[in-house]
Structure 1
Amino acid sequence: MASLSVEYVDHNYPGFLAAAFEVAADELMADGIPSQPFLEREEEFDIITVPYVPVDPVSQKVIAGPSQQGVICQRGSDELYIQRWGQDRFQEYYGQYGIQTIWNWTEGLRPCPVYLRHCYLAAEKLGCLDSFLDETYLVDRTTK
């Protein structure tokens, strides 16, 4: 099973629609970096700060004003995981179960059905279902 993350595209990609929400101040460190509990919960991701612009949920047009900064879960790597958490933790959480990689799958990996349903329903409710369906790919980076 797998979850959803963003992946950097190195060409002039216009972006995608996503939900942005505020997190209570005690969830963040003073400098805006996610707290240790957040990093632990999202341990396999590369947590990055990205610019975003607010969009009207009905018209899907950009709301005038400056871009803002948000935190997003980007595709990580096995190397980043081991650098951050150590080989022993990788072995304990994954290796002992025969899982040799978190991120280097090329086929045979499918989203967790319950999580995918939550993502689908949220995108539908927020009015960005077309964006979700058009810009979300499975691990092969071809299948939508």
Structure 2
Amino acid sequence: MSNSMLNEAEPKELRDESDFEVIFSDSDYISVSGFGSLLSVRSARGTFPELINFRVARLNGFRRFFGHVAPIFFERGIAKPETKEISSLCSEPCEEENIIITVFEIKKSEIPAFIQREIEFRFLAVLCSRFTDEEFFQVRCKGNKDILFHHYGRHNIDKIWRDDILPCRVYLRHCVLAAKNLGEIAYNNFLDHTFLGDRRTTVREYLTRYDSGIMEEEPPESVKFRYEG
């Protein structure tokens, strides 16, 4: 694992493309941090085919947890609303926590794809972090209910950020496999420092005590390449 470590007490929020432009400085590349599916270089290249310098780092002062509904899981047919297995990963500041992440550089031209991929998030000069429903509506949807419906309402989602939902099964398996591919330290960090929406139950506890069958389930053929770690 790389010795690279990231610390950010008061990270800068980036609201649109113009904010990203400011932090490019004299370089044509910007660093992106991945803490979920972007732990997988294959997944990262799916959105950023020209990424460079894919590596592992440790981020102090942030917690990783399954705390929001992801519409992409509905669109890909892998959400299970009947069991509340609809959640994706997000992060939030947490002084006593640390997570192992990936870091890589993308070109300036790939910023629109990054924003579209992670549209429900608050963009920090460190990584994608937790928004609130009201902030998402005002910032990403510009206060427009039609835009909100396009992203969430058409999937019968009326609340994005929740603590009563469970990880999307296919996505969770993918993230665990991606972390495992990064090595033992990253794998154990993911299992023991990634939480459910309650912010108490770790992924290791969830897989061991509640649903050990997730890791044995093969993804549907339609998304198998994307979600194989």
TM-score, with length taken from structure 1: 0.68
Q: Does 1:73 align with 2:158?
A: no
Match 1:82 to one of 137, 160, 184: 137
Alignment partners' CA distance in 1, 2:151 and 2:99: 32
Q: Secondary structure at the match of 1:19?
A: strand
Aligned to 1:37: 113
Shift of residue 124, structure 1, vs aligned partner: 0.8
Q: Which of 128, 141, 144 is the equivalent residue of 2:199?
A: 141
In the alignment, what sits opposite 1:119?
175
Gaps of 5+ in 1: 28-34, 51-71
Structure 1, residues 16-62: CA drift from partner, whole Å, max 9, x if none?
211112223421xxxxxxx2332122111111112xxxxxxxxxxxx
Confirm or deny that 1:94 pairs with 2:170: no
- Whichever residue aligns with residue 128 of structure 2, its letter is C
Unaligned runs of 5+ in 2: 1-85, 203-229
Runs of 4+ in 1 over 4 A off after TM superposition: none
Q: Secondary structure at the match of 2:102?
A: coil
State the Cα deviation string for residues 51-77 of structure 1 (Å, max 9, x = none). xxxxxxxxxxxxxxxxxxxxx111111
Q: Which amino acid is the alignment partner of residue 187 of structure 2?
A: L
In structure 1, how many angstroms separate the alpha carbons of the residues matched to 2:136 and 2:97?
A: 29
1:126 partner letter: L
Give the TM-score of the pair, scaled to structure 2.
Answer: 0.45
Q: Distance in 2 between matches of 1:41 and 1:125?
A: 23
Report the CA distance between 1:14 and its aligned residue: 5.6
Cα distance in 2 between the residues matched to 1:25 and 1:39? 12
Q: Contact 2:98–2:193 at 8 Å: present in 1 too?
A: no
The Cα offsets for residues 93-123 of structure 1, whole Å up to 9 and x where unpaired, read as 32344321101x221x121222212211111
C-alpha distance in structure 2 between counterparts of 1:111 and 1:14, whole Å: 20
Give the Cα–Cα distance (whole angstroms) in 1 for the partners of residues 104 and 178 of structure 2.
13
Instruction: Determine what percentage of the aligned residue pairs are the same residue.
Output: 39
Count of residues in Structure 1 that have an aligned counterpart in Structure 2 = 112
Q: Are the counterparts in 2 of residues 19 and 126 from structure 1 also a CA contact under 8 Å?
A: no
Matching of residues 2-81 of structure 1 within 5 Å = 2-9=87-94, 11=95, 13=96, 15-27=98-110, 35-50=111-126, 72-81=127-136
Native 8 Å contact 1:46 1:73 kept in 2 = yes
What's the C-alpha RMSD, in Å, of the aligned pairs?
1.8
Q: Please state which structure has a larger fraction of its residues in helix.
A: 2
Name the structure where strand makes up a greater proportion of residues. 2
